[in-house]
Amino acid sequence: MMRLPQVEPLPKIPPRISIYEVGPRDGLQNEDAVLPVEVKAEFIRRLVACGLTTVEITSFVHPKWVPQLADAEQLVDLVYDDPKVRMPVLVPNERGLDRALDKGIRDIAIFASATETFARRNLNRSFEEQFDMFEPVVTRARDAGMRVRGYLSMCFGDPWEGAVPIAQVVRAGVRLTDLGCTELSLGDTIGVATPGHVVRLVQELIDVGLVAEQLSGHFHDTYGQALSNTLAAMRSGISTFDSSAGGLGGCPYAESATGNLATEDLVWQLHGMGIDTGVDLDKLVETSVWMAEQLGRPPVSRVVNALS
């Protein structure tokens, strides 16, 4: 068995790619099982030991909405101690920001929608009202010296509205960056994007003044397109990608959404193009197999299944 791909560089790819690991937050929030906080802490420690330098660890959301993450403060106390590793926390509103500030968090994310229906279902706000809700969150966070990532969901399709006009996604992305978001994650929440769609959206965002370095890709594999869409985004200049160890995760508010792009699948592709991620792939596979055992189900990552 080959445990490493043959290396053949690909032209027009950024020389350095950053992996934004979302398994502990976006992955575990969509699992039926509620894991003990000690298991979550061990998961995060193992991910960091694999060489991942950005790991989104939890969300300061009300336990009523995401009971899987009800132990957010306890988890932060257990793992938030390495200044060399980015450990962002998702905050849904000002109350969530207050909790993050109380814990000394340096890096937060907010979660917005490119569509009206999802904004109402997920945030209980209209498309326009969501920006009013986020404005004080972003302003206060930036004033406190925090980095603020803006997740933009439903960028490529919405299960209730269908196709989403690219101009509407661009408008939402510009609103988030104008509020002060330092990074914009383009979410294919239900996994319907294709490479041409990705290239067009990235280009239109660049045409209105955003730069590729501000953008990240967040692709789901519902239709088996996550890796091809990631490659298309790389060739458009994007150099940060969200992924989830073992392919954990999805979206609890979008029934058709399957797992995120698996971190192992992304690392295999990057290593094959000669891009050094700093990630120990064998260790990462071991970590995902271990987490799958905790959850009582097999990992969905193709690379994990091939190498384990």
Fill in the amino acid letter for 181: C
Contact 132, 177 (CB under 8 A): no
CB 268 within 8 A of CB 227: no
- Nearest Cα neighbor of 254 from 113, 132, 88, 68 is 113
SS3 212: helix
Query: Is 251 one of the annotated active-site residues of the chain?
Result: yes
What distance lies between CA 116 and its chain's CA centroid?
Answer: 21
Of the candidates 37, 42, 95, the residue with the CA atom closest to the CA atom of residue 68: 37
**Selection from 251, 277, 249, 250 nearest residue 264 by Cα:** 277
SS3 89: strand
How many C-beta atoms lie closer than 10 Å to residue 267's C-beta?
26
Residue with tokens 């404005």: 135
Which residues are the active-site residues? 251
